[in-house]
Chains A and B, each alone.
Chain A
Amino acid sequence: MAARRPTVIGVLPFPVLVMIAPSLLLAAFVILYPLWEILRLSVHEISRFGLVRGFVGWDNFTAVLADPSFRASLWRTLVWTGAVVGGTLVVSVPTAVILNMDFAGRGLARAVVMLPWSVSLSMASIVWLWSFNADYGLINTLLQSLGLIARGVPWMARPETAFPIEIAIGVIVSIPFTTTILLGGLSSIPGDIYEAARIDGAGPWLQFRALTLPLLRSFINIAVVLNIIHVFNSFPIIWIMTQGGPDDGTHILITYLYDLAFRLGKPGPAAAISLIMLAILFVFTFLYLRLQPKDAN
């Protein structure tokens, strides 16, 4: 790619340095010291209040890896991330395609689709928790008035109902952001190529598969990567609705780690989990990007 552009200026020419240095410094400032702290905590025995009791090497890591709750949470994290990111994409692509078409009231439809974005994740989780309340929630009221259930269902009582609901909410709150990115991608596709395709006799489905999807790919990639990162680390939905329970049945790594660090007062193992999570995410993301065709970036 670099060879195609005429203006190669070097490794890091001075004007570029001046322009990107502040962003680099700022990002490094908020990440490097905390990361160093996590590294330090992960190899020490640490009291609840951060007092170092001694160097323990890999002990925190081996302890965590041997913990069945950790392994269950790890597996659930993969399910959670896969389901939320996949579900989001499956809804967002057609939504963006429709919102990119010219129809009456499109502005309003776009605004409504974006609307959930304006509610913070914590608040949205609170509202959904209340909506699923067994006694007074509007979900039960709605289902009862439709005659689908006889009495209120305690939705959060079992992991088998609670976790899928949490996944669905994860999808709902990820849609606005994803749709926005995809809409940006769609609107950058010039309309005349569709014109040409139509003249060549391509139907809407073929147009979508042969033109839209490939041209949208780089936008889908960035949406997927950012979603993987955010969803993998997403804390409020599960914490607010079930705190990882009942019987640890809805914990993902981030809620499990929080429980460990702050409820049980074990910063060392919690730091070890943070690093394991970082490693997983790192591998995931770069594997995903590597698996993409070369020109996708």
Chain B
Amino acid sequence: MKRIRFSALAWLALSPLLAVSVFPFVVMLTTALKPLAEVFVYPTHWLPQHPSLEGFTEMWKATRFALALRNSLEIAFESTLATLAVAVPAAYAVARMQFRLRPPYRQFLLVTQMLSPILLVLGLYRLMGMIPFGDGKLLDTRLAIIIPYAGFQMAFSVWMLSSYFAAIPAAIEEAAWIDGCTRLRAIVSIFLPLALPAIAVTGLVAFVAAWNEFALALTLLRDPDRQTVTIQVVNLVAGRYSVEWNQVMAATLVATVPVGIMFTWLQRYLVRGLTFGAIQ
């Protein structure tokens, strides 16, 4: 009984925030389901009078959504892998080893966050255009965007991973060394399984950042066949002579679904990753 009352209170306290969080999704869904003629009806109705999937089907064609979706998934997935491959060892070093250059190293990472990609994009573009790669330049490949994504995600990933790694008791590994394990083996078979939730959470953050990024993608992805979902959705709005809002909302909604699913799926890991410190 007490728990029920307490739960009700908790939900009540959270309700304004929850309402504001859900509101954009309500707008997306209701607008997406309206046929175009109904979008511009005044006074506006909350709910579509004649729900229609027109917004979804039209948007799917207009934005070449299937292609954009694949591009986004590939770019986000690969840059997440790149981020983790580089950040996990670095975070392990920061968490487990003591070296005098650690503070400047962390400060440098923080400084890399201080310049907005919007400021750096010109220089990055020139840089990627200068480096030869394969038959052409780095700029012609997907690496031109994956490298910056991983680079800009480094500071947060190293910080997040190292603070979780620090919470995993070193004694477990040390015990393994005494049992004759090599340091590397102890990392792989003892440390990594324990660190997996934290890695998953950090990966999720990197994935979402890459999935949602706009400024770099707009400039660094030259090939129309490589455009990401975010670019295509913003393109539906920016500078059009007429904006078809039902399509825009349909596209936004569909673009959000993969990330939303990942959040719900990783929500357990998120909690576990976050509660990890409590184990010690």
Contacts and interface: CB of A to CB of B under 8 A. Distances in A.
Is A in direct contact with B (CB under 8 Å) within the complex?
yes
Interface of A: 2, 5, 7-13, 15-16, 18-20, 22-24, 26-27, 29-31, 33-38, 50, 91, 94-95, 98-99, 101, 103-107, 109-124, 126-128, 130-131, 135-138, 140-142, 144-145, 172, 175-176, 180, 183-184, 187-191, 222, 225-226, 229-230, 233, 235-236, 240, 254, 257-258, 267, 274, 277-278, 281-282, 285
Contacts of B33: none
A119 B256 contact: yes
Contact of B267 (A104, A111, A119, A135): A111
A94 B259 contact: no
Given A29-B147, A98-B14, A127-B252, A235 B21 contact: no
A10 B43 contact: no
Nearest to A6: B98
Contacts of A267: 122
Contact of B212 (A31, A101, A104, A120): A120
Task: Count chain B CB atoms within 10 A of each CB in A114, A257, A282 and give the residue with the most.
Answer: A114
B68 interface: no
Interface in B97-135: 97-101, 105, 108-116, 118-124, 126-127
A24 B108 contact: yes
A30 B99 contact: no
Nearest to A188: B277
Given A11-B100, A23-B90, A109-B14, A285 B114 contact: yes
Interface string B186-214: 00000000000000000000001001111
B89 A19 contact: yes
Nearest to B262: A118
B62 interface: no
B117 to A, nearest CB: 8
B212 A121 contact: yes
Given A33-B123, A33-B124, 20 more contacts: A7-B97, A8-B98, A12-B99, A15-B93, A22-B89, A24-B105, A26-B150, A27-B154, A95-B14, A105-B7, A111-B263, A118-B208, A118-B260, A120-B212, A130-B248, A136-B44, A145-B46, A191-B278, A233-B118, A258-B118
B227 interface: no
A122 B214 contact: yes
